[in-house]
Copies of this chain bind each other. A is one copy, B any other.
Amino acid sequence: MKEIRHIGILTGGGDCPGLNAVIRAISKTAINYGVEVIGFIDGFKGLVENRYIQLDLRAVSGISHTGGTILGTSNRDNPFQFFTISEGTPQHSDESDRAVANMEHLGLDGLVVIGGDGSLNIADRFAEKGVPIVGVPKTIDNDLSATDVTFGFNTAVNTASEALDRLHTTAESHHRVMVLEVMGRYAGWIALHAGISGGADVILIPEIPYNMDAVISKITQRYRQGKNFSIIVVAEGAIPEDGEMVIRNLVATSHDPIRLGGIGQKVAEDIGNRLQNIEVRVTVLGHLQRGGSPIPYDRILSTRYGVAAVDAFMAGQFGTMVSLRGDMIAAVPIKEAIKEIRRVKPESDLVRAARAVGISFGDKY
């Protein structure tokens, strides 16, 4: 096996608390192995455009508790369909060979890609082209099947749970129904965790289509028990039993640049229409969930992932992604990791626990 002397890293896709802790851990570990590290700027875009910085000890010092990524990131950066604007016309071209040429020219022995579904798919295609690749899973939604937890997820749960604590006091003082829309397009992990932690009464997630009758029934049942307020957490991908078509075009809140008002607003309006004596309010948490300093749990997980990624690289485990299984870090094939989304199981232990403490999922349970 060729000796490894020089690697590149990049961060792709959306912001996620813990990215800098991963960058720091990779750099420090690599330098310990005697390996030099450069970081491409703005994800795969910098790889194509050959923009990068040196990641020495000074560059990564004191960054593990900071949010964001010192390398920058980009959403439109697929080298296989590279987006440019030429004479006012947007166009796409395959610049993957240029990316490979850049890496060769820089004398890189491989690439560590920190990214979600999209970025890991691109990484896999580079692996097929013969580039030594190791992936680090990044999705704030926690919906990657090859790992128990992804970094950033618990920080997002914290943010959402703090928001619920705040909404709780207003709900109670004003006898209102407060609706909070959180992230989770395809999986309801943030809604489920934050809802249990923040004392929600109803949690609506994509995995359990909801019925508005059941939601209303929960709220009115609480009123009968003398609890004249309710807290409802809605994942942005939540869907009514009978309404997938109607809703689909609303399911984009935090991804749409500017327009607010997705499923959270719809749920609030429906409740308001059905219970006219009750005040309903909606809050969309949006970007607040992606930013800020990672909580200790995520700093530690990010550090472990970063170290493990370099270990996997040095052991020649190319085409793999690091993942957490129980309390162990392991390397799994990228292909397997990106095969399917990990969703909340309606019959799982955690959903069962939520139901046991009185939370409704808006179904006919």
A259 at the interface (CB under 8 A from B): yes
Q: Mark out the residues of chain A between 65 and 81 whose CB falls within 8 Å of any chain B CB in the assembled complex.
A: 65-69, 72-75
Picked from B68, B167, B306, the residue with its CB within 8 Å of the CB of A288 is B167
Picked from B170, B199, B297, B350, the residue with its CB within 8 Å of the CB of A287 is B170
B260–A296 contact, CB under 8 A? no
A265 at the interface (CB under 8 A from B): yes
A245 at the interface (CB under 8 A from B): no
A193 at the interface (CB under 8 A from B): yes
CA distance A146 to B60 in the complex (A): 38
B66–A169 contact, CB under 8 A? yes
CA distance A82 to B358 in the complex (A): 37
Q: How large is the interface on A (under 10, 10 to 19, 20 to 34, 35 or more residues)?
A: 35 or more
B68–A197 contact, CB under 8 A? no
B166–A288 contact, CB under 8 A? yes
Q: Which residues of B contact A227 (CB under 8 A)?
A: 61
Q: Which residues of B contact A356 (CB under 8 A)?
A: 25, 28-29, 32, 307, 310
Q: Which residues of B contact A66 (CB under 8 A)?
A: 169
Smallest distance from the beta carbon of A101 to chain B beta carbons, Å? 26
Interface string of A72-101 (1 = CB under 8 A from B): 111100000000000000000000000000
Q: Mark out the residues of chain A between 235 and 292 whose CB falls within 8 Å of any chain B CB in the assembled complex.
A: 257-261, 265, 268-269, 272, 279-284, 286-288, 290-292
B284–A168 contact, CB under 8 A? no
| Given A303-B353, A307-B352, A272:B257 Cβ within 8 A | yes
Q: Kindly specify which of A47-55, A110-118, A171-179 makes contact with the partner chain.
A: A171-179
A259–B261 contact, CB under 8 A? yes
Give A70's nearest chain B residue, CB to CB.
B173
B296–A154 contact, CB under 8 A? yes
A15 at the interface (CB under 8 A from B): yes
Smallest distance from the beta carbon of A69 to chain B beta carbons, Å? 5
A34 at the interface (CB under 8 A from B): no
Q: Which residues of B contact A261 (CB under 8 A)?
A: 259-261
Picked from B24, B296, B354, the residue with its CB within 8 Å of the CB of A194 is B296
Q: Which residues of B contact A287 (CB under 8 A)?
A: 166-167, 170, 178, 281, 283
CA distance A358 to B148 in the complex (A): 27
A62 at the interface (CB under 8 A from B): yes
Q: Mark out the residues of chain A between 147 and 200 whose CB falls within 8 Å of any chain B CB in the assembled complex.
A: 148, 154, 157-159, 161-163, 165-170, 172-175, 178, 193-194, 196-199
Q: Which residues of B contact A157 (CB under 8 A)?
A: 296-297
A325 at the interface (CB under 8 A from B): yes
CA distance A136 to B63 in the complex (A): 30
Q: Kindly specify which of A127-135, A202-210, A211-219, A326-334 makes contact with the partner chain.
A: A326-334
B257–A288 contact, CB under 8 A? no
Cross-chain pairs A/B with CB under 8 angstroms, 17 sampled: A15-B169, A15-B173, A64-B197, A65-B199, A68-B169, A157-B296, A165-B293, A166-B292, A167-B288, A168-B291, A169-B292, A197-B300, A198-B296, A283-B287, A303-B357, A304-B350, A307-B353
Interface contacts beyond A62-B199, A261-B261, A307-B356: sample of 20 additional A-B pairs, CB < 8 Å, sorted by A = A15-B170, A24-B357, A29-B356, A29-B357, A61-B227, A65-B165, A67-B169, A68-B172, A72-B172, A72-B173, A157-B297, A165-B292, A166-B292, A167-B291, A169-B291, A258-B280, A283-B288, A307-B352, A328-B349, A329-B349
